[in-house]
Amino acid sequence: MNRRNFLAGLTLTGIATQLPVLAQSASVPRLLKPSRLNPGDTVGLVTPASPILKEHLKWIQLQLGQQELTVKVAPHVLSEYGYLAGTDQQRAADINLMFADPTVKGIIATGGGWGSARILSLLDYDLIRQHPKIFLGYSDITALLLGLYSKTGLVTFHGLLGTSMWNPYSVSWLQKLLFEGKAITFQNSPNVRVETIYRGQAKGQLIGGNLSVLSALVGSEYLPNWRDKILFVEDVGEDIYRIDRMLTHLKLAGILDQISGFIFSQCTACTPGEGNEPSLTLWQVLNDLIQPLGIPAWYGSMMGHIRDQFTIPLGIDVKINAEQGTIIMLENAVV
Q: Which of 56, 76, 249, 305 is catalytic?
A: 305
In 10 A of CB 306, how many CB atoms?
A: 16
Instruction: pLDDT band for 330, please (50, 70, 90 cuts).
Output: very high
What integer pLDDT is reported at residue 29 of this predicted model? Answer: 85
Please compute the mean of the pLDDT values over residues 25-50 and round it to a whole number: 91
Per DSSP, helices labelled H in 269-321 are 282-289
What integer pLDDT is reported at residue 7 of this predicted model? Answer: 47
Mean pLDDT of the chain: 93
Q: Where are the beta strands (DSSP E) in the chain?
A: 42-46, 70-73, 104-109, 134-137, 156-158, 185-186, 195-198, 201-210, 230-236, 261-268, 297-299, 312-314, 317-321, 326-329
Q: Which of 50, 170, 220, 234 is catalytic?
A: 234
pLDDT at position 17 over 70: no
By three-state DSSP, how is residue 145 classified?
A: helix
pLDDT tens column, 196-219: 999 999 999 999 999 999 999 999
Q: Is 25 part of the annotated catalytic residue set?
A: no
What integer pLDDT is reported at residue 27 of this predicted model? Answer: 62
Q: Which of 116, 139, 150, 164 is catalytic?
A: 139
pLDDT at position 3 over 70: no
Instruction: pLDDT band for 11, please (50, 70, 90 cuts).
Output: very low
Q: Is 180 part of the annotated catalytic residue set?
A: no
Instruction: pLDDT band for 4, please (50, 70, 90 cuts).
Output: very low
pLDDT tens column, 264-311: 999 999 999 777 789 999 999 999 999 999 999 999 999 999 999 999
Find out whether 264 and 309 touch, Cβ atoms under 8 Å.
Answer: no
CATH topology of domain 42-179: Rossmann fold (3.40.50)
- What is the domain partition of the chain in residue ranges? 42-179, 185-329
Q: How far apart are CA 233 and CA 221, in angstroms?
A: 19
pLDDT at position 113 over 60: yes
Burial of 253 (0-12, 13-18, 19+ CB in 10 A): buried
What integer pLDDT is reported at residue 197 of this predicted model? Answer: 98
When mean pLDDT is compared across 28-32, 244-248, 273-277, the lowest value belongs to 273-277
Q: Beta strands 104-109 and 134-137: pairing type?
A: parallel
Please compute the mean of the pLDDT values over residues 46-67 and round it to a whole number: 97
What integer pLDDT is reported at residue 21 of this predicted model? Answer: 42
Q: Is 121 part of the annotated catalytic residue set?
A: no
Residue type, 193: R
Does CATH number 3.30.70.1560 belong to domain 185-329? Answer: no
